């Protein structure tokens, strides 16, 4: 073992020991298994180098690295801001946050002119629901079966899976979860007049890359509007060209009152999320800007990245469409070659889900992938599904290599989980 390898092994062992003692032992267990005893050490583009010297292709990272790791424009923006003013007094106006808000609103054609910045997806889900309830004076919220909107108390009520709500039901907002295939679902709920908002992901991420039917969503939007109910599109995972469009909802012609962005909004370098909404929905915050605030909301270091991130995404948008087509072909081939294990391939653009015949089969595939050099994202609420989230900076060769690794991993699952193959 070389000196570098020995040092990397020692660093990894110390990291796992610290995880066990100070964080969660299960994080240490899963991380140790995924990395085969190594930890992540550095990254560039769509590749991550581990402490033992191995390099893996990153098609996971839960949709954060749309521009890959350490995109030069994002890193340069952070360095410039570090040299001037990395934080804010919170008493004086900050031009960096102001510029970022103007850029983001302009990115959507100023259709939704008001902006609130958070640090993660749950932040902006919380403020969106809060504003909707305050602006309407109503208490109920509609979400969708299979949806995921975060795990903080307010956002958790909208998240469909009961797995994360055990022991917390008395703390949560009054939420009804709709059947995503029922065009009349919103109409039945809003008829009573007490619904503040309808919240949906145009493409459900944690549910296994499930696109919701546009015609159903269009009917929901129309029925909500007629009854004074706000419509909120959660595009924290599927927006910003991940699924082809800047905003999936707006591109599909849905008359929404708000769009939520997050994950890649900080360029894969810093945490940043945003609510964009109408004047009407924003009215409570316009009247009292301290109605909802956070010490690090609109943080200059993160906001400085945004005006660089949006042009970088746009420069790669056409390439993203090419990658999406290549991904279509690769995943269709996997489904054809492994019909006993691969039950369905879903998704849109660069957000794809491979649905396997059982959780055991999906688990074996994930385990094999990590060791073979491909990182993916499991689905928290759908254990039979594995998500692929290729960055826009991926190449045709990267897609081909990922498909090759997947093919081999699925073959292992077929041999190891015979019940899955039998269906």
| Mean pLDDT, the chain, integer | 93
Give the residue-averaged pLDDT of 389-409: 97
The conformational region for residue 104 under phi > 0 = left, psi -120 to 50 = alpha, else beta, is alpha
End-of-domain residue from the set 315, 330, 352 = 315
The model's confidence at residue 172, banded by pLDDT at 50, 70 and 90, is low
Q: Residue 303 sits in which domain range?
A: 72-315
Same domain, 48 and 190: no
Same domain, 121 and 211: yes
Residue 132 and residue 109: Cα distance in Å, rounded? 22
Is the confidence at residue 79, as pLDDT, over 70? yes
- Note the pLDDT of residue 6: 61
Q: Residue 134's domain is classified under what CATH number?
A: 3.40.640.10
Same domain, 311 and 363: no
Q: Residue 386's domain is classified under what CATH number?
A: 3.90.1150.10
Same domain, 48 and 193: no
Same domain, 299 and 406: no
End-of-domain residue from the set 283, 315, 347 = 315
Percent of the chain past pLDDT 70, that is, above it, reads 96
- Note the pLDDT of residue 30: 83
Is the confidence at residue 421, as pLDDT, over 70? no
pLDDT in tens, 321-349: 999 999 999 999 999 999 999 999 999 99
Give the residue-averaged pLDDT of 36-50: 95
What is the model's pTM?
A: 0.94
Q: What is the largest CA-CA distance in the chain?
A: 71
Same domain, 59 and 109: no
- Note the pLDDT of residue 169: 66
Same domain, 287 and 363: no
Q: Are the C-beta atoms of residues 332 and 345 closer than 8 Å to each other?
A: yes
Total domains, the chain: 2
Same domain, 250 and 157: yes
Give the residue-averaged pLDDT of 305-327: 98
The model's confidence at residue 152, banded by pLDDT at 50, 70 and 90, is confident
Q: Look at 147 and 10; give whichever has higher pLDDT.
A: 147
Residue 295 and residue 293: Cα distance in Å, rounded? 7
Same domain, 310 and 321: no
Residue 342 and residue 356: Cα distance in Å, rounded? 5
Same domain, 356 and 385: yes
CB atoms within 10 A of CB 317: 14
The model's confidence at residue 1, banded by pLDDT at 50, 70 and 90, is very low
Same domain, 232 and 118: yes
Residue 66 and residue 55: Cα distance in Å, rounded? 19
Determine the Cα angle at 192 with ends 190 and 198, to 5°: 25
End-of-domain residue from the set 315, 333, 355 = 315
Task: Lowest mean pLDDT of 77-81, 85-89, 163-167, name the range.
Answer: 163-167
The model's confidence at residue 100, banded by pLDDT at 50, 70 and 90, is very high
Same domain, 150 and 162: yes
pLDDT in tens, 363-389: 889 989 988 999 999 998 899 999 999
- Note the pLDDT of residue 388: 98
């Amino acid at each position: 073992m070389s000196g570098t390898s020995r040092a990397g092994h020692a660093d990894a062992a110390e990291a796992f020991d610290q995880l066990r003692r100070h964080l969660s032992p299960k994080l240490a267990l899963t991380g140790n298994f995924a990395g085969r005893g190594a930890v992540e050490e550095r990254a560039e583009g769509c590749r991550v180098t581990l402490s033992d010297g191995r390099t893996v292709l990153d098609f996971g990272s839960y949709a954060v690295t749309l521009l890959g790791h350490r995109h030069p424009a994002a890193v340069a923006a952070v360095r410039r801001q570090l040299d001037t003013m990395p934080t804010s007094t919170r008493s004086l106006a900050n031009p960096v946050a102001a510029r970022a808000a103007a850029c983001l609103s302009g990115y959507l054609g100023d259709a939704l002119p008001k902006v609130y910045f958070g640090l993660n997806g749950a932040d902006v889900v919380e403020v969106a629901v809060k504003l909707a309830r305050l602006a309407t004076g109503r208490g109920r919220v509609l979400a969708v079966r299979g949806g995921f909107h975060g795990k903080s108390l307010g956002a958790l009520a909208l998240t469909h899976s009961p797995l994360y709500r055990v022991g917390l039901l008395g703390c949560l907002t009054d939420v009804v979860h709709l059947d995503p295939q029922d065009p009349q679902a919103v109409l039945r709920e809003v008829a009573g007049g007490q619904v503040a908002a309808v919240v949906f992901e145009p493409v459900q991420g944690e549910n296994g890359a499930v696109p919701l039917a546009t015609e159903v969503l269009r009917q929901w939007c129309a029925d909500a509007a007629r009854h004074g109910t706000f419509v909120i599109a959660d595009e924290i995972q599927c927006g910003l060209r991940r699924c082809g469009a800047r905003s999936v909802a707006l591109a599909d012609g849905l008359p929404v009152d708000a769009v939520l962005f997050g994950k890649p909004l900080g360029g894969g370098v810093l945490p940043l999320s945003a609510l964009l909404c109408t004047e009407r929905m924003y009215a409570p915050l316009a009247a009292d800007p301290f109605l909802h605030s956070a010490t690090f909301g609109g943080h200059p270091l993160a906001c400085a990245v945004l005006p660089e991130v949006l042009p970088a995404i746009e420069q790669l948008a056409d390439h993203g469409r090419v990658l999406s087509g290549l991904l279509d072909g690769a995943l269709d081939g996997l489904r054809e070659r492994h019909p006993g294990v691969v039950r369905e391939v879903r998704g849109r653009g660069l957000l794809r889900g491979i649905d396997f015949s059982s959780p055991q089969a999906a688990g074996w595939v994930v385990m094999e992938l990590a060791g073979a050099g491909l990182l993916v994202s499991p689905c928290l609420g759908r254990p039979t599904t594995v998500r692929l989230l290729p960055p826009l900076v991926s190449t045709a060769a990267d897609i081909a290599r990922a498909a090759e690794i997947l093919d081999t991993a699925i073959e292992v699952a077929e041999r190891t989980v015979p019940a899955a193959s039998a269906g």
